Amino acid sequence: MHKHHSALGVATTLKPAAPVTLVRPQAAARAARFFSEKFPGRSLYAVKANPSPDLIRTLFACGVTHFDVASIAEVRLVAETLGNEAKLCFMHPVKAEEAIAEAYHIHGVRTFSLDSMDELAKIMRATNDATDLELCVRLRVSSEHSELSLASKFGAELGETRELLMATRQAADALGICFHVGSQAMSPQAYSDAIERVRAAIVDAAVTVDIIDVGGGFPSIYPGMEPVALENYFDAIHRGFESLPISYSAELWCEPGRALSAEYSSVVVRVERRRGTELYINDGAYGALFDAAHIGWRFPVALLREEESEAELTGFSFYGPTCDDMDHMVGPFMLPDDVQAGDYIEIGMLGAYGAAMRTGFNGFTSEAVVEVEDEPMASLYVDAVPVRRRATVIKLG
């Protein structure tokens, strides 16, 4: 992997013809230490957000030693990357029986989630009625406080939880309850409300619970989406957890994905054409900008020029490099009005889901990765890092 001082240096020195992913291990390390030191329980990295082995190793080295894996491929990836040092938790509520069997018998996975009696039976068959399982029953909770809903596909309703919790308690060495409030939760109230549903389920089933897993949803910072400090989320979760009728020895878990990986990487793209306020760039909906195209996510942008632009900021939309009209990112992305073909732009906060969604459709892809030393375009972990969503130029320092 190449190393460089800054995003501006990559653009002006390398002048890449294809998109370049910039990675910032120091940013991921900082996020991992933050969760390890401040979350009042155990943090599991949600591998789906960014399955980079380098990122996984960085998080592990900085205290995140448990991993939320959602497929047998992710189980294998983390096992190959870290050996048997990491604890893997198979938290997808609907799994292939063969995947459960491989995870348990070959990779030593003992933690599984479920949201139905059918899945419980499947887990017991695949593990030959093992007696050393940590089984987490997933509850359905509201996503009203989150930018992306996860309230439709998984989770047992309160009317279904009594039988399921009682049966799982009989089968499990340790019983857990888990939930997911949705992605990019913009208020700590999301977790407070969900924990109240946990309380109702515990009281209704009258079972002893060993693990409360509040899932993911912890936010990052984007244009138009500036959340309160993460400590506020942690405080709300801690208060709710402490008020539950559970054993004093119960564990508290969370599953951050976006919050641990978003600041890890960005992408440098080149403008190939300008048409009014539309910029044709060499990455897009089938690359790192899936979310920008398909759900209208806005990412911070910065023009990478050695000579600072004095032009006013204008809202631009992007077209990606493929032949599809749907390869379109509406934005608006605020850039100097004099941006033109040949200019380079850094698009930030793409460490979460950007790399994971990249395809090679239409022959447009890039494997180029450069490690840089400068700060991410925004940060929830360092007060001194400016939110550069309105920045136009990054001077080479």
Here the CATH number for the domain that contains residue 273 is: 2.40.37.10
218-243: average pLDDT: 95
Residues 65 and 136 in one domain: yes
Which band of pLDDT confidence, cut at 50, 70 and 90, is reported for residue 1?
low
204, 236, 260 — which closes off a domain? 260
Residue 390 has pLDDT above 60, yes or no: no
Residues 225 and 94 in one domain: yes
Residues 183 and 276 in one domain: no
Asked whether residue 80 is domain-assigned, the answer is yes
274-280: average pLDDT: 97
DSSP code per residue over 45-70: EEGGG---HHHHHHHHHTT--EEEE-
Residues 36 and 179 in one domain: yes
Which band of pLDDT confidence, cut at 50, 70 and 90, is reported for residue 363?
confident
Residues 254 and 339 in one domain: no
267-274: average pLDDT: 97
Residue 330 structural domain: 2-23+262-390
227, 260, 293 — which closes off a domain? 260
Asked whether residue 396 is domain-assigned, the answer is no
In DSSP terms, 370 is beta-bridged to 2, 22
Residues 159 and 139 in one domain: yes
Residue 323 bears catalytic tag: yes
347-351: average pLDDT: 96
Asked whether residue 395 is domain-assigned, the answer is no
Residues 251 and 380 in one domain: no
Residue 128 has pLDDT above 80, yes or no: yes
What total of structural domains would you count in the chain?
2
Please tell me the pTM assigned to this model: 0.92
Question: Tell me, what amino acid is at 12?
Answer: T
* Active-site choice (89, 136, 178, 323): 323
CB distance 196 to 214 below 8 Å: no
**pLDDT for 234:** 97
**pLDDT for 359:** 86
Per residue in 287-335, pLDDT (tens digit) is 999 999 998 999 999 999 988 888 999 999 999 999 998 999 999 999 9
Asked whether residue 52 is domain-assigned, the answer is yes
Asked whether residue 200 is domain-assigned, the answer is yes
Residues 269 and 249 in one domain: no
Residues 234 and 279 in one domain: no
In DSSP terms, 67 is beta-bridged to 45, 88
244, 260, 276 — which closes off a domain? 260
**pLDDT for 397:** 31
What three-state secondary structure class fits 218?
coil
Which band of pLDDT confidence, cut at 50, 70 and 90, is reported for residue 391?
very low
4-17: average pLDDT: 91
Residue 394 has pLDDT above 70, yes or no: no
Q: Single out the residue of 191, 142, 136, 196 nearest to residue 164, CA to CA.
A: 136
155-188 core/surface letters (b: 16 or more CB in 10 A; e: else): bbeeebbbebbebbbebbebbbbbbbbbbbbbbb
Residues 29 and 16 in one domain: no
Asked whether residue 13 is domain-assigned, the answer is yes
Per residue in 85-119, pLDDT (tens digit) is 899 999 999 999 999 999 999 999 999 999 999 99
Q: Mark out the alpha helices in the chain (DSSP H runs).
A: 7-9, 25-38, 53-61, 72-82, 97-105, 117-126, 158-171, 189-205, 230-242, 258-261, 290-294, 354-357
Q: Single out the residue of 181, 199, 177, 201 nearest to residue 191, CA to CA.
A: 181
CATH of residue 240's domain is: 3.20.20.10
CB distance 269 to 68 below 8 Å: no
196-212: average pLDDT: 95
